[in-house]
Amino acid sequence: MTPPAPDILRVADTPTPPYRFEAADAALLDEIQHACFQFFWKEVGDPVPLVRDRLKGPVSSIAAVGFQLSALPIGVERRWITREAGAQRAGAILRALIERTDNKRFGIYLHYPDLNTGGPTDSGYEIVASTVDHALLLAGALTAGAYFEGPVRELAERMEADSDWRAFATAPGGLLSMGWRAKDVQNIPGDGEFLTHHWYVASDEERLVYFLAVGASRAEFAVPPERYYALRRVAKAHRDLPPFIVSWPGCLFTYLFSHCWIEYAAFGPDDPARFGGTGPRVDWFENSRRAVLTHRQRCIELADRYPTLGPDRWGLSACVGREGYIVPEVRPNLSNDDRWHEGTVAPYVAGTALMLAPAESLAALRAFRALTDDQGRPLVWRDPAVGGYGLADAFNLSQGYVCDDYVGIDHGPMLVGIENARTGLIWKLFMQTPTAKRAVERLGWTRAASSQPASAPATTAPAGP
């Protein structure tokens, strides 16, 4: 008989955000965040200001828009834009999306809308109403609504109320489909079919989808909490490091995305047994912290094979590699594959993971910023003063490769993750929304004992405009 998986519980003295940073490190974080923000502020469509999916792409993506909407409160709080400008931008984005009928199905939005209109695109990208990308959009919309209030909040709550999650519960056991595809791309919403792939693993994308679906305001659109606790929880470990619940590929974005909005550090372990589940109790803040530290250790161990890697150069995740968009697979994981793409590093991983492993992540960010080429010029940093947006999406030293593109769903988590590590702003906003409060209550979560911030000198002055 297979023994039960161990509970994943936090050590009592584990530091949790907000962390304190030395003045020089705070200045570095200001620089990185501001560069990220500039991408979301400048690279937008016209007349509809939807952010680009990526710098070189012809479309937007609703996932990137979710991060765009979350970026706006950060921009205001750090005095890069005015509150009025942020509210105007948020309202324009939400109105453009909500007022169309051809860009959604059952209230779930198409993955890749037209950059300038918010409607369907004929640029060759998939025409799919995607549940995970909609979740990222909705999380950002609710965050912006909580911050700007008034019309922005009304629009965000309308988007939430229209989201019919239960319509996508087409898989056995009521699990959610990954999306819906139109049969006729010229007739949306019209006839179509739900994707046969569904969300069934308890990793970060899935948990955000089910968190929002459980917290839905309309009972007929919500899914029961039992669906969340039915997600598969498989614990694995690397050598003698602590075990954690693994994702399918094991690359780091699958342990980071939902942390951009859900403040897991504020809660104790969840408990599937209360809802008829059989998996272990999991403290998801601790789970992702272990995943990050295990991943870093594996990068250190393979530094002899892949020269890009080292104690301060780590972070394999979905990114733009030399051969195109790549999704590495890194053990321990469910796929049991190890596909390292020659050690290509995505700097946004360390930035996002600052929420979880501040010392290790900050050291990596310092190292990325300090890397230079043979002429002493910054290697992976692109100066915003001359059109860059900070840290490159990916680089590989042995290939002589540095990505010249930027991706919204990579730059966005880095911006939000750093802010949560510093102030907890996005957590505070998202967790105060009625949707988040309903989800917490329905899932039976309880508050954790307060944790102490990391003991380093504080700096609280916001960056200038």
User: Is 457 within a domain?
Assistant: no
Provide the pLDDT for residue 185: 66
Give the Cα separation of 222 and 225 in Å (integer).
9
SS (H, E, C) the chain: CCCCCCCECCCCCCCCCCCCCCHHHHHHHHHHHHHHHHHHHHCECCCCCCEECECCCCEECHHHHHHHHHHHHHHHHCCCCCHHHHHHHHHHHHHHHHCCCCCEECCEEECCCECCCCCCCCCCCCCEEEHHHHHHHHHHHHHHHHHHCHHHHHHHHHHHHCCCHHHHCCCHHHCCECEEEECCCCCCCCCEEECCCECCECCHHHHHHHHHHHCCCCCCCCCCHHHHHCCECCEECCCCCCCEECCCCCCHHHHCHHHHCCCHHHECCECHHHHCCCCCCECHHHHHHHHHHHHHHHHHHCCCCCCCCECCECCCCCEEECCEEECCECCCCCCCCCECHHHCECCHHHHHHHHCCHHHHHHHHHHHHHCECCCCCECCEECHHHCCCEECCCEECCCCEECCCCEHHHHHHHHHHHHHHHCCHHHHHHHCCHHHHHHHHHHCCCECCCCCCCCCCCCCCCCCC
Provide the pLDDT for residue 462: 33
Average pLDDT, the chain: 94
Give Cα 71 to chain centroid, integer Å.
12
pLDDT interval class at 66 (50, 70, 90): very high
Provide mean pLDDT across the span 45-65.
Answer: 97
The tens digit of pLDDT for each residue in 143-163 reads: 999 999 999 999 999 999 999
User: Is 119 within a domain?
Assistant: yes
Domain that holds residue 337: 23-443
The tens digit of pLDDT for each residue in 4-36 reads: 789 999 988 899 999 999 999 999 999 999 999
Domain count across the chain: 1
CATH of the domain at 433: 1.50.10.140
8 A C-beta contact, residue 45 and residue 116: yes
The tens digit of pLDDT for each residue in 380-406 reads: 999 999 989 999 999 999 999 999 999
User: Is 235 within a domain?
Assistant: yes
Name the amino acid, one letter, at 279.
G
The tens digit of pLDDT for each residue in 157-209 reads: 999 999 999 999 999 999 999 999 987 766 666 688 999 999 999 999 999 99
Provide the pLDDT for residue 2: 60
pLDDT top residue among 449 and 203: 203
User: Is 136 within a domain?
Assistant: yes
User: Is 4 within a domain?
Assistant: no
User: Is 433 within a domain?
Assistant: yes
> If we measure between CA atoms, which residue out of 283, 308, 311 comes closest to residue 295?
311
User: Is 5 within a domain?
Assistant: no
User: Is 395 within a domain?
Assistant: yes
Provide the pLDDT for residue 1: 52
